[in-house]
Each structure stands twice: as structure tokens, then as C-alpha cells.
Structure 1
Amino acid sequence: MGRFNVLNHALVPEHKVLKEKEKEELLAKYKITPDQLPKIRLSDPCIIAISEKEGPIKPGQIIKIIRNSETAGESVAYRLVIEG
């Protein structure tokens, strides 16, 4: 039996690791520092699944989370990866 991938579940939104340039553009656009973003831990099931698929995720990287929204169509959130 294969291992369950949480990213394939219907209720889990799309998660994407930002490239360094995208990270810089995001921080400049909102005039913020990375530590002002909400956090997500390395032990989060979605981060573990992304790591298995795309390679290691490191603290300090930013994850873009894209959710479907009935009112807005699409909702985008960002999370800073931290230890734990």
C-alpha cells in the first residue's frame, strides 16, 4: 500500500515554494521582513510532502498557499518556514 500524500487531499490547498527572486519581490511589494509573515513548521505534513516531491525545504523559505474561495475566487497566503 502506498503512502498517503496530504497534498492530494481535496481539502488541502495548493502549496508552492517561492524562488529567491519571488521571495524578494514579495517582501519588497509589501515592505515587510520575512519574520513578519505567518509561520509554518518544517514538521507540517504539507512541508514534509513538498520536501519528498521537490527536495529539502529549509527554514527561511517562503511557501505560497493558494486556496479556492467562493467569494474571492482565489485566496493567496504566504508562510515563512521555521524549525520544528
Structure 2
Amino acid sequence: MNKFDSSQLRPRLNHTSEGWLVQVYSRDRRLLCVLEASHAWTFLLGCGVGVLVAIGWFNLARHTPSATYVPSTMPPQMMVD
């Protein structure tokens, strides 16, 4: 029979899924959803990207000249046949 050798275990490099887990149950003990640490990291990454897009959008809108319509003061020319 093979004996367990702990030196063969490889260390895990993915630490984003460790730490905590939230399980949400309904009133009749059915599992509704599971929130893991990776969900929080993804949410924070999305918030960071959203802030960067908002800053870029604000800077682009500030430096873009406004395209306001200015009506001409000259009367239109009459077309004569």
C-alpha cells in the first residue's frame, strides 16, 4: 500500500480563493448563492477600471471643443431660373 508523502505536495500559488466563503441560504435551507474571495477581487478590479474610464472620459470631455451651432447672419441667396 502506498504511504502518503507530504513532500510531494506542491504549494498553491492562487491565494485569491482562500480566506473566506459566504453561503446565502433561503428560508427553506436551499442554497441561493456563494460568494468567494475571487468575487470580491473581481468586484474591486471592476471598480478600479470604472474609475479609470470615468477619469479618462472626464479629461476627454474637458479638452474637446464644444460643437455649438451658430446660425449665419447672411440671408440665403435666391435661386433664379
Work out whether the TM-score is over 0.5.
no
Higher helix share: 2
Structure with higher Rg: it is: 2
Higher strand share: 1
Give the TM-score normalised by structure 2: 0.20
